[in-house]
Structure 1
């Protein structure tokens, strides 16, 4: 969330509100489809940003994605926080060796080039010869001298942000469980399948899959942690993109399911109460097989829900689906 807020590219979405606008405009998805998913997340984002009492400059320092790297300084340091590594007791050579992976990622310099140096004077001279920006050179030197202080500062920020996030987080356990279940079924024993890759020789021995709430719209593989983060609405948004790529086909199919006098009469009857197939057959004067044909079509389009009690099958009008269909039709025609 904070990386998104401080992304340096002005064309990127810097908030959930901007991301919602982007999805609506680029893929012609009406906002009534997106709002039920995104409004609770937008409230969380606003709550954290409003109440996180950390200066804008310090947040930008940690969470801005610099041009030389794909992610923010905060993400690099976060992995160090998780491993509880400390640098204060190390001599120059050991400190530089321990920091080489971090410095190479920040500066986009081959780690083998840094591995040849063993003291801060060597590091300074090497950085002066590189093509890095002055900001990156200064950052590398600052991290060399004060890495523990930066880790402590980031730790405090993340704890504050996490506490605010959890204060305002609604119960999303059911959504997370469903998303992870679907992702695990799709991936099987090969997580690359989630990304549309059927085979790869570089598959790790084990991969942890985690639901991502604020990264709700994407899949992200963190190779350094062997973790795949699955956005809780990634598949739902993908389905909406597909649905509105050809809205005529979707609307035509559902309009066709209604274009029968008997099916319209079924809607009217189910509006009052749920019924089983035999009751509907008697009320409409139609054969049970004909009722079954009509109900299968309405269930397939999502207009009618089915429940089983004992040996009986009961049909209920799905009013939410019908209202959504009317909204889609209005959005398309008006």
Structure 2
């Protein structure tokens, strides 16, 4: 396999025990490639998993990483690859391009259609000491090789199909609304949005619909290439806090606030959302931009409802609400080229809607 002799196969415990990796492992053996399995990655991966994986890589004399899994697995593997030659404390990677040396070779095989982690120079890793999510951006962590295989996504349950699909849609729309958008990222975002509106509900309703699975894998990839350059916005800023405080899966956390954030932006995004509405066939030919924008947001609400996605959080105390508002505001304000900065009252109104009654 391109001259590599021994790889660290990074995955999670479920995939390792599911049999889904059997064919890949057989292919590695047939190619004369040894492998060591590291399956210690959990949802919302932390520093400990990255350090353990890197230790397994070094102790076993591996010369490449193969990651198979969702965004958590791919993010952890990207950091293992970056850490190996860049011996920094993991918290020192926070920010942009803190490494000096290249990452080890990395083959990424996503098993979900949503995170875009296979094509983005970004990883979100939790600090177990503070429970803070550390956002790391570094072009050296981009995987060297990517395989998009809809067959490996065939067994995804509807709930994960929904969460990862909305995650991809969030990436594409936030990139399209970003002040960092370019002509290229716009093309990629529009392609992703169009595919998701056409195929997500099909994949949700019938996991064996391989045309839909293939389209969603493609959509996730292009959404990833788009937001990897243009960035994201307040949906992600809030979702990261929900993951940190409650362990809410990232796609579900995005879904909880996605249309509400779009509505909060107001008239500064009407024209861009109207373009997306026309693209996916929402609204009438004579609707103005405001009407089309509102219909596009309503279409996301309807999609979210059709897939019966969770929308509220238990034990969301006022103290935790304040934490989300403060931390999301700081994250977006410091890092994201959002179309408009939301104030605390805007964010509080969005967060209030998440409180279980």
Q: Note whether the superposition's TM-score is higher than 0.5.
A: no
**Highest CA radius of gyration, 1 or 2?**
1
Q: Which has the higher contact order (CA 8 A, sep 6+)?
A: 2
Using the size of structure 1 for normalisation, the TM-score is: 0.20
Bigger proportion of residues as helix: 1
